[in-house]
Amino acid sequence: MNIKFRLTVLNFFEFFVFGSWLISLGGYLGGQLHFSGAQIGKIFMTLGLASIIMPAIVGIIADKYLNAQKLLGIIHILGAGFLFYLSLINDYDTFFWVMLAYLMLYMPTIGLANAVSYSVLEDNNYDIVKVFPPIRVWGTIGFIIAMWVVDFLDWTQSPNQFYFAAVFSLLLGIYSFTLPNVPCSTSKSKSLTERLGLDAFVLFKEYKMAVFFIFSMLLGVVLQISNAWASEFLRSFTADFPDSFAVKHSNILISLSQISETIFILTIPFFLKKFGIKAVMLMSMFAWFLRFFLFGIGNPEGIGLAYLTVSMIVYGMAFDFFNISGSLFVENETDPKFRSSAQGLFILLTNGLGALIGGYTSGLIVDHFTNNNGDRDWNSIWFIFAGYALILTIVFALVFKYKHKPEEIKDINH
């Protein structure tokens, strides 16, 4: 079998498993298990907790002790067991700890799947920069297709979504053992401190980098808000708009965000060359404001549905422009000896600490605007989130000093 096709299958199902439950989880927790806003927020906080240290630990294991493809297989097989268990749980405390345990296994597999792909492509003399992106984009396609399947099977409010994810996690685990061998590294492996990017904290001595990293964490707060609350928000229209597309097929509507993400990524080279990193990051922050503001004025019918649709579309700019331009900024502006650590720090602050804070605080905000009958004032909730993104945009524009030099922007290959 063609090696590129085999890696495409790997990346497709790596994110297919994730897409099977992530986007519909918030609605399931609120609609079926009747968890409070704070409880839902804390469960999504586990994504940040699992992203802080586990990828680094798993990376060290793959470097020193166990072939990466075998480790990937073991983790996905174990993960299938946790996903199956999640389908049986109805109480908050158990769900929280089992979800945390599962994500401590799953989150490192994203980087591990990349590492396996890089190694296999290199061993087969492929140009990684040219060949990997078309392979990786199938991961996003897998995520979207999983969302659609769960939606069409009417499982967004059913524990069947976890059974479904468990089956494919098990199959992916078995499949991983069939991949070409990725030998353990014979060179000096990075320490846990280096993998987490903690040695890059020395960059905080420079004003420009300190401001950038602080805002990376603050913007990371918004990354989990959409994942946590979009599905629960659309579910809230069930009583007033039971037959609307947004209610009956919420996953498909939300999937426009992921489709938009695959499109906007293609526009980044133009925007970076034309406007510079600061402007692109400001576009991302303002797009987050629009994302939440349009949710605040949207509903499932007429112009309200148009607002929701546009909100899904601007998500691509909000997500891509920050993550990719931020990573590129780190690549261009840091000393080569800190470059890898700085990238690790960027991920730690956004996907780790930022997501952790976002999950916890968003749950408190949702609860604050929930009455004794369980009805939520979604307009106020989304306007609070939009106001936060707008404040970030304004303050970042004032305090971040950066002169655009188009000739220093590296080419980006897709």
Whether residues 165 and 215 share a domain: the answer is: no
Q: Flag whether pLDDT at 43 surpasses 50.
A: yes
How much is the pLDDT for 206? 87
How many domains does the chain divide into? 2
Each residue's pLDDT tens digit, 176-212: 999 998 877 655 566 666 666 667 778 888 888 899 9
Whether residues 140 and 211 share a domain: the answer is: no
Provide the token pair at 35. Answer: 């968890």
Whether residues 148 and 228 share a domain: the answer is: no
Instruction: Give the 3-state secondary structure of residue 370.
Output: strand
Whether residues 116 and 261 share a domain: the answer is: no
Whether residues 370 and 414 share a domain: the answer is: yes
DSSP tally for the chain: helices H, then strands E: 17, 0
Whether residues 45 and 93 share a domain: the answer is: yes
What pTM does this model have?
A: 0.86
Residue 304, domain CATH: 1.20.1250.20
Each residue's pLDDT tens digit, 319-366: 888 887 787 778 777 777 776 677 778 888 888 899 999 999 999 999
Q: Flag whether pLDDT at 274 surpasses 90.
A: no
Q: Flag whether pLDDT at 213 surpasses 80.
A: yes
How much is the pLDDT for 125? 86
Where among 181, 202, 234 does a domain terminate? 181
d(CA 131, CA 379): 44
Q: Which DSSP category does 352 fall into?
A: I
Residue 186 lies in a domain: no
Residue 203 lies in a domain: yes
Where among 118, 148, 181 does a domain terminate? 181
Tell me how many degrees the CA angle 341-347-351 measures, rounded to the nearest 5.
160
Whether residues 167 and 208 share a domain: the answer is: no
Whether residues 201 and 157 share a domain: the answer is: no
d(CA 118, CA 96): 34
Q: DSSP string covering 248-315, please?
A: HTHHHHHHHHHHHHHHHGGGHHHHHHHH-HHHHHHHHHHHHHHHHHHHHH--SSTHHHHHHHHHHHHH
Whether residues 202 and 339 share a domain: the answer is: yes
Residue 22 lies in a domain: yes
Where among 146, 161, 181 does a domain terminate? 181
Please name the residues in contact with 248: beta carbons below 8 A apart, sequence gap of 6 or more: 242
Please name the residues in contact with 138: beta carbons below 8 A apart, sequence gap of 6 or more: 8, 11, 12
Task: Name the residue range of residue 243's domain.
Answer: 191-414
User: What rounded mean pLDDT belongs to the chain?
Assistant: 88
